[in-house]
Structure 1
């Protein structure tokens, strides 16, 4: 078994910490007990933090409000970086006019389409009138009929040569102690394999979110080096791989997607090695 260490004894040696949301601050039960004390510990020592989440279904403000409803204080919107923000930024820069088709919920679409573009759900798309469709976005794993709308998505992408954006790269997420649900990234990868095309993926492990958070840290008059930053997550293939690629130290916690019983096997089989392993960020 890999060595399990105390998170608080690790984090106090860094000047900034990037925290994943699901599996680190909260899980299927709600807020992880003791997380508020850890966040207070981080802030009391002047350690900067950012929340990096692959949840593209809610804005920074909505994410912050969600933490508050769970009982976690001290996470303002500006401390949160979402994969949806990266997708929205891409749409603002690259798509000029027209409509964007999406697979997901109307709430997620409203947030992403603040890029001043008109959105249309795949379910409402007229397959005989596609001239104004300029991009397609995979947003969420709910809000649509999995059989009918995924088939419709496949046919849209086959007919239209346009940017295909994946706003959440996660393959799955826990919904109970021993159960998971398929996430947006897995749906997108299924469609990619069917039509043999590569889409534009946002979120961890890709570097856009890390670059954004790093630049944000260094925009407030302080200067941070990557050696002074710690990335904390519960998933090897997103959080830890992303942190490793970006060049910061990484902590794998066992309070979410990775459990104590599988951690050693997962590290060996994936070749993705965290710098530290902790039970959680509590203690």
Structure 2
């Protein structure tokens, strides 16, 4: 498993796993706009991706904070809908506030939040978290542990939560695969992204590990993040627009997660191509090849 080198490589990786992705009707076409200014009056609420739309790594994208302020002045509800799941959402909110984004916790919905809510409704189970040592799991059910190299831990847990892609850690990846081959158990994946953009390039995300496990161990992961339904249903519920998803605009930088998931949820969608996962991608070709058609294509928010 290696991180994609370019946006084209990431697009190809998503296309390779399309059989496992949701399907929904194709939009008739898209409209090209520079940003969200002309769209602000047309929608009742906005769902925004975080990485690639608000920031790249620890660097805010120019104009993003100002656009958020403009939408708030118009009285438009804004909800950041993110696949970020490595840490509890409270820590993510703090990180973005440190970058100057005036977004309180109630304006955030992460795929980890959605997963944790589901876990609290299920019978008690001893979960093993695939993540680096010291990972904060205080928001997960009692008894959850971060797996280490102890062989017994891998066989004793009753299910796995993927919070890491185990990039560069082939030994641990194989240990997880072997444990699932010996005894199939639920595998929860809050972050379905294959990779995310950072200042230094793309980094693998847990979705890449989950797809590898599908091939290597024959498991069917339980997905919670974009493009899958649970996070979009939670977003519409949070906004109070379950009955009118078409009044919500989902804005993101990835066709296969933000746009596909938003369309399947009945939302209007806008693809950001000026930065993030689609920067440098021949997006007209990508739209035609994938059949994932946004309603709008914008350079930035």
TM-score, length basis structure 2: 0.83
Cα distance change of structure 1 residues 59 and 246 upon mapping to structure 2, 3 Å threshold? same
Relative contact order, CA 8 A, sep 6+: which one is greater? 2
Unaligned runs of 5+ in 1: none
Cα distance change of structure 1 residues 261 and 96 upon mapping to structure 2, 3 Å threshold? closer
Cα distance change of structure 1 residues 66 and 82 upon mapping to structure 2, 3 Å threshold? same
Written as runs of structure 1 = structure 2, the 5 A alignment for 1:33-182 is 33-73=62-102, 75-97=103-125, 99-106=126-133, 108-113=135-140, 115-121=141-147, 123-127=148-152, 130-131=155-156, 133-141=157-165, 146-176=169-199, 179-182=201-204
- Deviation of 1:117 (Å): 2.9
- Deviation of 1:192 (Å): 1.1
SS class of match (2:152): coil
- Deviation of 1:91 (Å): 2.1
Aligned partner of 1:269 among 289, 293, 298: 289
Q: Distance in 1 between matches of 2:85 and 2:107?
A: 16
Residue pair 2:31, 2:295 contacting (<8 A) in 1 also? no
Cα distance change of structure 1 residues 128 and 68 upon mapping to structure 2, 3 Å threshold? closer
Residue pair 1:95, 1:134 contacting (<8 A) in 2 also? no
Of 260-269 and 245-254, more deviation after overlay is shown by: 260-269
Q: Distance in 2 between matches of 1:31 and 1:128?
A: 40
Q: Distance in 1 between matches of 2:89 and 2:120?
A: 17
Deviations 1:241-266, CA, capped at 9 Å, x for gaps: 00000001000011210025421121
Q: Distance in 2 between matches of 1:30 and 1:273?
A: 29
Aligned partner of 1:4 among 24, 32, 44: 32
Cα distance change of structure 1 residues 55 and 29 upon mapping to structure 2, 3 Å threshold? closer
Residue pair 2:161, 2:189 contacting (<8 A) in 1 also? yes
Aligned partner of 2:279 among 230, 255, 259: 259
Residue pair 1:217, 1:224 contacting (<8 A) in 2 also? no
CA RMSD of aligned residues (A): 2.2
- Deviation of 1:181 (Å): 1.9
Cα distance change of structure 1 residues 77 and 266 upon mapping to structure 2, 3 Å threshold? same
TM-score, length basis structure 1: 0.88
SS class of match (2:161): strand
Corresponding position of 2:264: 245
SS class of match (2:87): coil
Q: Count matched residues.
A: 270
Cα distance change of structure 1 residues 128 and 55 upon mapping to structure 2, 3 Å threshold? closer
Cα distance change of structure 1 residues 104 and 201 upon mapping to structure 2, 3 Å threshold? same
Q: Distance in 1 between matches of 2:93 and 2:163?
A: 19
Aligned partner of 1:200 among 211, 222, 236: 222
